[in-house]
Amino acid sequence: MTERSFSEVLDDVERNYWEITENIARAAEKSGRKYEDILFLAATKTVEPKVINHAVSLGLKYIGENKVQELLSKYEEYDLKNCDLQFIGHLQTNKVRQIIDKVSMIQSVDSVKLANEISKQSVKNSLVSNILIEVNIGREENKSGVLAEELEELLGRVSEMPNIKVRGLMTVPPICEKKTDVCKFFDKMQQLFIDISAKKMDNICMDYLSMGMSDDYEEAVLSGANMVRIGSRLFGRRIYR
């Protein structure tokens, strides 16, 4: 196996970055929007801060980690003057206080219990936390996210909590072999997003629909996503240790 040198890795990231931004721009235009309307968030798990910061130097504005421990260990090295750090993974209630003052949004809230803890820690830290509600749109067992029919009740409960603000919805759809299958899940999410927006619930904003990853971000944008979360397509395939 050949190791790529660090500068080759950076070159790859650079090439990938421009390719992805072009693809996002094209999908945005096809769906009647502009590149600037779609937030490109890089999923940075297992990626060294130096490599992440190279992408930031190219113009990347949003990064997302999915493990608390990893986020904390990399925290001092992120270029947070030039990008915005979010949390996108499953979050245990007892770890909320470790990241509450470090992230601009928690994308993966799927229970009253977790929302309550975020609210409590936000009050303690005198800040307002932005969150997305994660929806288990494929109704998969053992997967994070609320079921579609539980969404409104959860939104109602969260809307009454202090110092926490719902800004939209997020999903990780089931792995599908065919693009047309994953599109069905994206379309369901778009419909939910539109339905909830139309209800104009107190304290609930539907600013962001976060869906689409390396293999399907263009389809997600065509189905109304305005935030995509891309890891391997940008940084190369992950080597899990």
Applying CB under 6 A, the span of 109-117, 124-132, 219-227, 230-238 interacting with ligand PLP comes to 230-238
Looking at the Cβ atoms of 21 and 214, the one nearer to ligand PLP is 214
The CB-of-239 to ligand PLP minimum distance in angstroms stands at 12
The residues near 116 (Cβ < 8 Å, ≥ 6 apart) are: 161
Does residue 23 bind ligand PLP (CB under 6 A)? no
Closest CA to 235 of 103, 68, 45: 45
Residue at 128: amino acid letter: V
Residue at 18: amino acid letter: W
Q: 């979010």: which residue's tokens?
A: 86
Residues 181/198, Cβ–Cβ less than 8 Å: no
Site string for ligand PLP, 146-185 (x = CB under 6 A): --------------------------x-------------
Within the chain, residue ranges assigned H as helices are 6-30, 49-58, 68-74, 96-99, 112-124, 151-159, 179-199, 217-222, 232-235
Applying CB under 6 A, the span of 7-15, 118-126, 200-208, 225-233 interacting with ligand PLP comes to 225-233
Beta bridge partners of 168: 132, 208
Applying CB under 6 A, the span of 32-40, 118-126, 182-190, 228-236 interacting with ligand PLP comes to 228-236
Applying CB under 6 A, the span of 2-10, 16-24, 146-154, 223-231 interacting with ligand PLP comes to 223-231
Footprint (CB under 6 A) of ligand PLP, residues 50-79: 66
Q: 205: which 2 tokens?
A: 């904003």
Q: Applying CB under 6 A, which residues contact ligand PLP?
A: 43, 45, 66, 88-89, 172, 213-214, 229-233
